[in-house]
Every structure is written in structure tokens, then in C-alpha cells.
Amino acid sequence: GGLFAWLRGRCLGRGAAVDPARDTFGAMTGLYGAIQPADSVSLSTRTHGAVFNLEYSPDGSVLTVACEQTEVLLFDPISSKHIKTLSEAHEDCVNNIRFLDNRLFATCSDDTTIALWDLRKLNTKVCTLHGHTSWVKNIEYDTNTRLLVTSGFDGNVIIWDTNRCTEDGCPHKKFFHTRFLMRMRLTPDCSKMLISTSSGYLLILHDLDLNKSLEVGSYPILRARRTTSSSDITSSGSSGTRAVGSPCHQNDSGLLSEKTLSRPSQREGVSPRNSLEVLTPEVPGERDRGNCITSLQLHPKGWATLLRCSSNTDDQEWTCVYEFQEGAPVRPVSPRCSLRLTHCIEEANVGRGYIKELCFSPDGRMISSPHGFGIRLLGFDAHCSELVDCLPREASPLREIRSLYSHNDVVLTTKFSPTHCQIASGCLSGRVSLYQPKF
């Protein structure tokens, strides 16, 4: 028993012995401590517009840029050389890019479509996927089942079977629907789906089964609770839906119906597949006012979720980290919240109405957050410790490790390279900056 407990603690990073990745982090901390603006790629606003999303290929060899004016740009992030411009990738704003492997990637757009691309043949799309009825805002991919998952401002989460993809598209089905939908993410092991909304709710589908076709009303509601008060989940006011990098756009829809939210679990004390939890995450300073969850990211080891929240009046913004609190199955008569606020920090209140996409570092020890005309590197403590090694009893402030400024406009998105000590950022005026160590 003692041996297995020691091994389990070691795997979780809680034991006396540490894994090699943790042993070498002292060197990585030194590298990030020496990081400076390295190169910038100036993009013409007349052609490209704002930079809405940045995505590296899994092997770090290609950096893709999603632009406001229908284009996708590809760069070699090491040499900063331009590789290719997909000048008419879509008919409207390109919002998000997701690599399926080192050569295939998907893009989504306000033109309501998703496009698949192959790095070996960029002159034409592999195929175009039609199924959404409004702006498509983000893409996820389950590497185990090869299912593509997309979400949009039509409130739909749609599953696409890339195993049966043809030039005419992929078989697809509507998996979930909720109003005010902003962002959707899968945990690294694809055991949960998280959905953020512009009305301040966070939806979590537990024990996720993407192959199971369900109507909204058949999702068992195991827990429906506010983390800030005991108010009923349906009593919160709504807010306008916002686009990535776009000013507010009003939406007159409501969230899930009260009838749906009051549905009990079908099996008391047991979590069925695709059980739905509805939360209002605690946000500092927002206890008495509504807030909008504009950006949603997952810790690379699945330990926590990272949110960027703004007040309905856009006069405050916060970056918040919530730990997943796993445990025994919860009886519906005694709900508990599966998320706990551990760290937070107030953000610069600039670029009102625009969404800022933040991210974790590949090892999960640091956060890169758009901050005014630059980015901030944030840690859970001053030593950039693992989250599991510095969990506070009460919510603590994130520590600012470095601030980097090289833009002349509001930064909208930032991304760590998965393989190199490099960070990229993109701003409203179409400039992409790269940061890497200088000695």
C-alpha cells in the first residue's frame, strides 16, 4: 500500500521524488526569465485586419495566424519567415485554428463554416464543413476517436466524423445546445466538456461520451449551483453575446430552460455519461453584478480551468484559475461545486468589447495573458511552481513574472510554442510579435 501511494504521489507531483520534467524546470524558468521581444511580423491592416487567434503545429514548426479579413497566414516561428498566405480562406473573419496532427488543421469563421487544410497542399481546402447557422468560434479535436468538435454563436456544439471525410464534407450531428454560448473546450483526456456563456454560467459535461446522441432535455443535471450565492440558477440576468475580437453583439435568447435545469439525476449517487453541471464561477469584485466569461482554457494536465471574465459594463476584467475538485459521485439532493477558485488577478481595462485569448504554458506552470499593449507572464507563485504544489486555502493572487510590450495596439491573443521557449502575440492592428530568450 505504501509503495503504490508513493508512486501515485510521484505521478501527481505531490511526493518527495519528482519527474524529469519538474527537475529541469529550473532551467526553463531561467530561459523564460531572459525572454525578450525577438521579431515582429507587421501585417497590413488593409489586407489582414486584426489577429484573432494564433496556433502552433504540434511539432512547433509552423505558426498559423487567424485574421479578421478572411485570411490565414503561416510562418516559420524559428526564422520568422513567411511561408504562405491563404488569402481567401473564408468569406468572413477567421476566428480559430486547430491542428489535428502535424499536417492537418482546421479553421472556423463568421461565414458559419469550418475548413480543413493540409500543409502539403495549401492551394485548396481538403473540404468545407457546413452545419452551423451563425458565427463559428472555436474548434476542439478528440485524438482518440478522430472526432472534430465545433461551437458557435448559434448555441450549437456539433460533432464531425473526420474518419469518413470526403471532398463534400464530414458526417455530423448536433451534440449539445445552449444559449449565450461563448467558448467550448475539452479536457486533455476528453473526459469533460466545458462551455462558457456570456451570461456568466459555466457548463460542465462530466463522463463525456461524444458518440452518444442526446437531446438537451435528456442530459441529467447532477448539480446546478452558484459558487457565489445560494440564488437559483435561473435568476441571473443575461448579457449580450460577444465575438472574438469584435464589439458586443446582442442576443435575445435565454440559457437552459428552468424545466431542463430542474431535471433530477436518473441514478441517485451515480454520475451517468454526459451528466451536466451548471455553475456560476466566483469572480472577485463581481458578487453583486453579472459577468461574461469571454475566454476559456484548460490546464494541459487537466488539473484546472483558466477563465477571462469581464463585467457586463466592461469596466473590470479578471483572469481566474479554478481547480477541478474530483471525488465520489454526488447525490443530486446534496449538490457540490466541482470547481474551486484558487488564483486570480485583475487585468488592464483596455480594448473594451474585445475578447482577449490567454493560455497556459505547455507544462502548465505559467499563464500568458494579454495585458494592454503587451502580455504578462503569470505564475501560481514567485517560483513558477506546479499548481498542485502551491494550492492555497483561499483564493490567492497570481504572481506577475514578466511583462512584455512590443505592440502599439491592444493585444487580443497569445500562445506558447509547444516545443520551443517562445511566445507569440497578436494585436488589433494586425501585428504579430515573437518573444524568446536573449542573453
Sorting pLDDT into bands at 50, 70 and 90, what band is 226?
A: very low
pLDDT value of residue 379: 93
pLDDT at position 170 is 87
- pLDDT tens sequence across 53-112: 999 999 999 999 999 989 999 999 988 888 899 988 999 999 999 999 999 999 999 999
Kindly state the cell numbers that stand for 304. Answer: 484546472
Q: Report residue 48's pLDDT band, with 50, 70 and 90 as the boundaries.
A: confident
Asked whether the predicted pLDDT for residue 308 surpasses 70, the reply is: yes
**Nearest-angstrom CA–CA distance, 152 and 281:** 22
Greater model confidence, 6 or 60: 60
Least confidently predicted of 113-127, 213-227, 246-260, 280-294? 246-260
Q: What value does the mean pLDDT take over residues 407-432?
A: 93
Site of grid cell 498559423: 64
| Statement: residue 160 has pLDDT above 60 | yes
Sorting pLDDT into bands at 50, 70 and 90, what band is 333?
very low
Nearest to 309 by CA among 361, 337, 359, 344: 344
**C-beta of residue 151 within 8 angstroms of C-beta of residue 225:** no
Spatial separation of the C-alpha atoms in residues 159 and 395, rounded to whole Å = 36
Instruction: With a cut of 90, say whether residue 319 has pLDDT above it.
Output: yes
Three-state DSSP string of 164-185: HCECCECCEEEEEECCCEEEEE
Residue-wise pLDDT for 260-273, tens only, equals 443 433 334 445 78
CB 81 within 8 A of CB 75: yes
Phi and psi torsions of 249, nearest 5° = -130, 125
Please name each of the domains of the chain with its CATH number: 50-218+274-280 (2.130.10.10), 284-296+339-438 (2.130.10.10)
In this prediction, residue 250 carries a pLDDT of 34
